[in-house]
C-alpha cells in the first residue's frame, strides 16, 4: 500500500471525503428544497467516488476506478429520474418544498 | 302385528314432524286431529300386539332389532325394542291415557296461538316416553329419559312470555339433570362390570358374576338418584309443584300419568339389580314413605287447585317408591296404573274447572260449582274417592296392597306402614277439602259477567272414560277377602322371575311374613277407617263449619303454608352460594385477573404500534434523518465491536 499519492498523504484525501460526505448529509437533512436535496445527494456520491479513487490509486488496483464510473452513471440516471419527479410534483403543487409533500404517508 | 311393533314409536314421531314442520301452515283443528290420531293409532297397534303376545302365557320377551346405532369396540347400543309384559303395560298406559289427554287438549287449548306447537311437543313427548319404556338397552332408555325431560321443559315453559313459566321449566330441567347424572353413572358401572347395556344380556350374565353383588347396592343407588329426579322424590321434588306453570293437559299427561313414573319403571326394569340390593331398597322405601307423608302435609294448606294436585302426585309417587323399596314391584306398578287413571282424571277435571272459570286457579275464588258443571263435578268426585282409597274404587286396592306389603316388611315394616297410613289420612283430608271448597262450599266465583259453562265434548269425554278407568282398574289385583284376584301378579311373573331367583341365590331377599286373611282384612278396614276419618274431618271443617281455620297462618300452619320453606332453604344453601361463587369466578377472577392480564397484553402491543406510527410523518427529511441515525448506530456498533 502506498501511503502517498502525488506526495499528499492518503488520510488527507479520506478527510476531505468525510467532510464532503458530512456536508452532503447535512444538506439532505436540513434543506427544504427538493432540487437542493438532490444536489446534496450528488455531493455524497462524489465524496464516495473520491474515496474509491484514493484507494484505487494507493493500492494500484484498477477495480476501484471502474466502480467510480458505475457510480457516476447511476448518479446521472438517478438525477434524471429524480428531477423528473420533482418537476411533476412541482406542476401539481406549485412548490418544490419537501415539507409540503406528505403524500408519502399514505 | 308384533313384528310391526316399531310403528308404535313411529306414529308419534311422524305426528311430531308433521306438526313441527308445518306448524305455521296447517289449521289448528287439523294439527290437533293429526296429533291425537298418531297416538291413537299407536294405542291400537299396542292393543293388537298385546293380544298377539299372549302376556299371560308367554315368558320370553319379543325383541325387535330396528337398526344398529352405536357400535364402538365391545360397546353396542342399538335401536331395538323389547316387548314384554312390563313394556306393554307401560305402553298401554302411555298411549291409552295419552290419547284421551290429546283429545282433551283439543278442547282445552282451543284458540291458543301456540296450538300447533303444543301438539308437536306432546307428540314428541309420547315418542320419547315410548322409547324410554320399550327400549331393549339402557342407552336408548336414556335417550327417551332425556327426551321426556326436554319435552317437560318445553311444555312447562310453553307460555314462555311469562317469566314464571320459563323459570319453572328451567327448574324442572336442572333438577332432573342432577338425577340424570345418577343414570349415566349407573349405566357406566353396569357396562364396566357386565360389559353390556342390553337388558337381556344383563339379565343373563349377572347371575354368572359372583362379584356383582358387591356393586349392586351402589348401582341401585345411582339409578335411584335418577328416579328421584324424574319421579320427584325428596330431596329433588321441588320442581314438580312449579311444573304446574304449564298448561293443564301437560300436568295431567307428563307430571302425573307418565313421565314421573319413569323412575318406578326403571326400578322394575332393573329388578335384577334392585332385588339383590337390600340396603338401597330399604333406603328407597324410607325415602318413599317420607315423601308420601311430607308432600301430603304440604297439600293441606295450598290454595292453588293445581298445586294441591301436584303435591298429591309427589305423595302418591312416594307410595309407589315405598312399594318398590319393600320389594313388592307388582304393588308399585299397580299403583302406577291406578294413579295414572285417577290423577289424570283429577288434573283434567281441574283443567275443566279452570276452563269454566276462565282461568281462575285459586280455590278460594271458587265454590258452589257442583250444580253448574255436572259432568266435571261427578268425574272429579270419582277421582277424589279413588285417591282417598275407598273401596271399591281403584285407589283402595293399589294403596292397600302397598300398605300391606310395607306392614309385613321385616325391617321397620310397621313404621313404614304408619307413615303410609298417616299419608293416606292426609290425602283423604286435603282432597276432600278441595272438593268441598270448590264444588260445594260458598260461591266465591268472580266471573266478571261471563257465564260458567260446562266444557265441550272433547273435554268431557276423556273425563268420563278416565272415571270409568278409575273405578274398574282396581279389580286386577284384589286382597284375599275380596274376590282374591291376582291377575297382575301372574302377569308380571315372567319379568320379575329372574330378579327373584337371583335374590334367592344371594340370600338378599327380604321375606315378609304371609298375612292371614284376618290380619289383612284388619289392615284394610283400618286404612278405610283412616280415610273416612280424614273425609269426615274435612267435611266438618270445610262444609259444616265453613271453617276458616286453615286460612289464618300462624305457627306451624305458616310453615306448612310455605311448604316447610324448602325452596327458601335450597335457595339459601345451594343456589345462593353457588351464584356467589359463580359471580366471584365470572366477575372477579375472570374479569379482573384473567381478562385484565390478556387485555393489557393486547393493549400494550397496540400502544407500541401507535408509538411506531408517529415515525411515519411523510416528510422526506425525517426519513433521511432516520437513515442517518440508523447508519450512525451501525457505525458506532461496528467501531465498538471492532470489525
User: Over the stretch A15-34, which tens digit does the pLDDT of each residue have?
Assistant: 999 999 999 999 988 888 88
Give the closest of A29, A30, A105 to B618, CB-based.
Answer: A105
**Does B620 contact A29 at a Cβ distance shorter than 8 Å?**
no
Q: What is the pLDDT of residue B259?
A: 93
Q: How many CB atoms lie within 10 A of CB B255?
A: 28
Name all domains of chain A by residue range, CATH numbers in brackets.
8-93 (1.10.287.3510)
Give A58→chain B minimum CA distance, Å.
22
Q: Nearest-CA distance from B625 to chain A in Å?
A: 6
Residues in A closer than 8 angstroms to B625, CB to CB, are: 29
Looking at residue B208, its pLDDT comes to 83
B621, A99: Cβ pair inside 8 Å? yes
**Mutation for B interface: A24, A39, A105, A106, most B CBs within 10 A:** A105
- Measured from the Cβ of residue B79, the count of other Cβ atoms closer than 10 Å reads 20
| Phi, psi for residue B510 in degrees, rounded to 5 | -100, 105
- Residue stretches of chain B with pLDDT short of 50: none
Chains A–B, number of C-beta pairs less than 8 Å apart: 31
- How distant is the Cα of A86 from the closest Cα of chain B, in angstroms? 13
Residues from chain B contacting residue A37 (CB–CB below 8 Å): 620
Give the separation between CA A96 and CA A32, rounded to whole angstroms. Answer: 8
Cis peptide before B235 (omega within 30 of 0): yes
Candidates B5, B97, B10; CA nearest to B50 is B5
Best mutation target, B617, B621, B635, to test chain A (most A CBs within 10 A): B621
Nearest CA in chain B to A31: B621
Which residues on A lie below 8 Å from B618 (Cβ)? 101-106
Select the residue of B617, B618, B628 nearest A25 (Cβ to Cβ): B628
Cell, residue B339: 294413579
Give pLDDT, residue B369: 84
Determine the pLDDT at residue B489. Answer: 85
For residue A105, is pLDDT > 70?
A: no
A30 and B621 within 8 Å at the Cβ level: the answer is: yes
Chain A nearest C-alpha distance from B589 (Å)? 43
Reported residue count of chain B is: 643
Would you state the pLDDT for residue B349?
93
- 3-class DSSP state of B76: strand
Q: Check: CB of residue B367 under 8 Å from CB of residue B441.
A: yes
pLDDT at B269: 93
Are the Cβ atoms of A103 and B618 closer than 8 angstroms?
Answer: yes
Q: CA nearest B237: which of B219, B255, B220, B249?
A: B255
The grid coordinates of residue B310 equal 301436584
Name the residue among B617, B621, B624 with its Cβ closest to that of A105. B617
- Residue B197 gets which letter from DSSP? -
CA distance A18 to chain B (A): 14
Cβ pair B450, B552 in contact under 8 A: no
Q: Read off φ and ψ for residue B166, nearest 5 degrees.
A: -65, -40
Residues B451, B560 contacting (CB under 8 angstroms)? no
B618 touches chain A (CB under 8 A): yes
For residue B623, the chain A residues in CB contact (below 8 A) are 104
DSSP strands (E only) in B369-524: none
| Nearest by CB: B621 against A29, A103, A106 | A29
Q: List B304's β-bridge partners, or say none.
A: B362
Residue A97's pLDDT band, with cuts at 50, 70 and 90, is confident
Q: Is A98 an 8 Å CB contact of chain B?
A: yes
Strands A8-9 and A4-5: antiparallel
Task: Check pLDDT > 80 for residue A12.
Answer: yes
**For the segment B223-269, what is each residue's pLDDT rounded down to a tens digit?**
999 999 999 998 899 999 999 989 999 999 998 989 999 999 999 99
* CA pair distance B42, B97, nearest whole angstrom: 12
A35 touches chain B (CB under 8 A): no
Q: Is A37 exposed, middle or buried (0-12, 13-18, 19+ CB in 10 A)?
A: buried
Q: CB distance from B484 to chain A under 8 Å?
A: no
* Structure letter (DSSP) for residue B162: S
Query: Scanning every residue of chain B, which has its alpha carbon at the shortest distance from the alpha carbon of A27?
Result: B621
- Asked if B609 is an interface residue toward chain A (Cβ–Cβ < 8 A), one would say no
Which three three-digit cell numbers place residue B312?
A: 298429591
C-alpha cell at A31: 434543506
Q: Is A25 on the interface with B (CB under 8 A)?
A: yes
Amino acid at each position: 500500500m502506498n501511503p502517498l499519492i502525488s506526495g499528499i498523504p492518503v488520510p488527507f484525501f479520506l478527510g476531505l471525503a468525510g467532510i464532503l460526505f458530512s456536508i452532503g448529509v447535512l444538506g439532505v437533512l436540513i434543506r427544504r428544497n427538493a432540487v437542493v436535496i438532490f444536489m446534496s445527494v450528488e455531493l455524497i456520491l462524489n465524496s464516495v467516488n473520491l474515496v474509491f479513487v484514493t484507494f484505487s490509486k494507493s493500492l494500484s488496483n484498477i477495480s476501484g476506478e471502474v466502480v467510480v464510473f458505475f457510480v457516476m452513471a447511476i448518479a446521472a440516471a438517478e438525477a434524471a429520474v429524480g428531477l423528473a419527479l420533482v418537476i411533476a410534483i412541482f406542476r401539481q403543487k406549485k412548490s418544490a418544498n419537501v415539507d409540503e409533500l406528505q403524500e408519502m404517508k399514505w | 302385528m308384533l313384528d310391526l311393533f316399531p310403528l308404535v314409536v313411529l306414529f308419534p314421531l311422524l305426528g311430531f314432524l308433521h306438526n313441527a314442520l308445518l306448524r305455521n301452515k296447517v289449521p289448528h283443528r287439523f294439527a290437533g286431529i293429526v296429533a291425537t290420531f298418531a297416538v291413537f293409532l299407536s294405542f291400537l297397534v299396542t292393543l293388537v300386539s298385546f293380544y298377539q303376545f299372549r302376556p299371560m302365557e308367554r315368558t320370553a320377551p319379543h325383541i325387535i332389532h330396528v337398526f344398529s346405532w352405536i357400535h364402538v369396540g365391545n360397546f353396542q347400543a342399538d335401536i331395538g325394542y323389547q316387548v314384554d309384559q312390563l313394556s306393554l303395560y307401560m305402553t298401554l298406559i302411555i298411549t291409552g291415557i295419552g290419547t284421551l289427554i290429546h283429545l282433551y287438549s283439543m278442547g282445552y287449548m282451543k284458540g291458543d296461538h301456540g296450538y300447533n306447537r303444543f301438539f308437536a311437543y306432546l307428540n314428541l313427548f309420547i315418542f320419547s316416553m315410548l322409547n324410554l319404556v320399550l327400549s331393549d338397552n339402557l342407552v336408548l332408555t336414556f335417550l327417551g329419559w332425556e327426551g321426556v325431560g326436554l319435552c317437560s321443559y318445553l311444555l312447562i315453559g310453553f307460555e314462555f312470555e311469562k317469566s314464571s313459566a320459563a323459570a319453572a321449566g328451567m327448574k324442572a330441567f336442572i333438577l332432573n339433570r342432577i338425577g340424570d347424572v345418577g343414570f349415566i353413572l349407573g349405566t357406566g358401572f353396569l357396562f364396566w362390570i357386565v360389559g353390556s347395556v342390553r337388558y337381556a344380556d344383563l339379565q343373563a350374565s349377572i347371575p354368572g358374576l359372583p362379584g356383582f353383588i358387591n356393586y349392586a347396592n351402589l348401582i341401585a343407588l345411582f339409578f335411584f338418584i335418577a328416579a328421584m329426579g324424574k319421579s320427584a322424590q325428596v330431596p329433588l321434588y321441588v320442581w314438580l309443584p312449579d311444573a304446574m306453570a304449564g298448561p293443564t293437559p301437560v300436568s295431567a299427561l307428563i307430571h302425573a300419568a307418565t313421565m314421573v313414573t319413569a323412575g318406578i319403571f326403571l326400578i322394575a326394569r332393573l329388578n335384577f339389580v334392585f332385588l339383590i340390593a337390600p340396603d338401597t331398597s330399604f333406603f328407597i322405601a324410607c325415602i318413599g314413605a317420607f315423601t308420601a307423608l311430607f308432600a301430603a302435609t304440604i297439600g293441606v294448606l295450598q290454595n292453588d287447585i293445581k298445586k294441591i294436585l301436584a303435591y298429591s302426585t309427589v305423595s302418591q309417587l312416594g307410595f309407589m317408591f315405598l312399594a318398590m323399596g319393600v320389594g313388592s314391584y307388582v304393588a308399585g306398578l299397580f299403583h302406577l296404573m291406578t294413579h295414572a287413571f285417577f290423577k289424570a282424571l283429577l288434573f283434567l277435571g281441574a283443567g275443566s274447572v279452570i276452563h269454566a272459570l276462565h282461568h281462575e286457579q285459586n280455590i278460594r275464588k271458587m265454590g258452589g260449582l257442583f250444580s253448574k258443571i255436572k259432568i266435571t263435578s261427578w268425574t272429579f268426585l270419582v277421582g277424589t274417592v279413588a285417591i282417598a282409597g275407598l273401596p271399591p274404587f281403584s285407589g283402595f286396592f293399589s294403596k292397600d296392597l302397598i300398605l300391606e306389603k310395607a306392614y309385613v316388611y321385616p325391617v321397620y315394616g310397621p313404621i313404614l306402614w304408619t307413615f303410609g297410613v298417616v299419608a293416606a289420612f292426609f290425602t283423604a283430608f286435603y282432597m276432600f277439602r278441595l272438593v268441598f271448597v270448590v264444588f260445594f262450599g260458598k260461591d266465591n266465583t268472580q266471573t266478571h259477567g261471563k257465564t260458567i259453562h260446562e266444557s265441550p265434548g272433547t273435554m268431557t269425554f276423556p273425563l268420563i272414560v278416565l272415571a270409568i278407568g278409575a273405578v274398574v282398574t282396581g279389580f286386577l289385583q284384589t286382597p284375599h277377602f275380596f274376590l282374591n284376584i291376582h291377575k297382575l301378579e301372574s302377569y308380571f311373573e315372567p319379568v320379575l322371575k329372574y330378579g327373584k331367583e337371583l335374590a334367592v341365590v344371594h340370600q338378599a331377599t327380604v321375606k315378609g311374613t304371609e298375612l292371614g286373611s284376618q290380619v289383612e282384612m284388619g289392615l284394610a278396614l283400618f286404612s278405610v277407617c283412616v280415610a273416612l276419618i280424614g273425609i269426615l274431618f274435612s267435611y266438618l271443617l270445610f262444609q259444616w263449619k265453613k271453617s276458616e281455620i286453615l286460612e289464618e297462618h300462624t305457627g306451624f300452619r305458616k310453615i306448612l303454608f310455605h311448604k316447610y320453606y324448602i325452596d327458601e332453604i335450597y335457595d339459601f344453601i345451594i343456589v345462593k352460594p353457588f351464584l356467589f361463587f359463580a359471580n366471584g369466578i365470572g366477575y372477579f377472577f375472570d374479569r379482573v385477573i384473567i381478562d385484565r392480564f390478556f387485555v393489557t397484553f393486547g393493549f400494550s402491543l397496540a400502544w407500541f404500534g401507535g408509538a411506531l406510527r408517529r415515525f411515519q410523518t411523510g416528510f422526506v427529511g425525517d426519513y433521511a434523518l432516520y437513515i442517518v441515525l440508523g447508519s450512525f448506530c451501525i457505525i458506532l456498533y461496528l467501531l465498538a465491536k471492532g470489525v
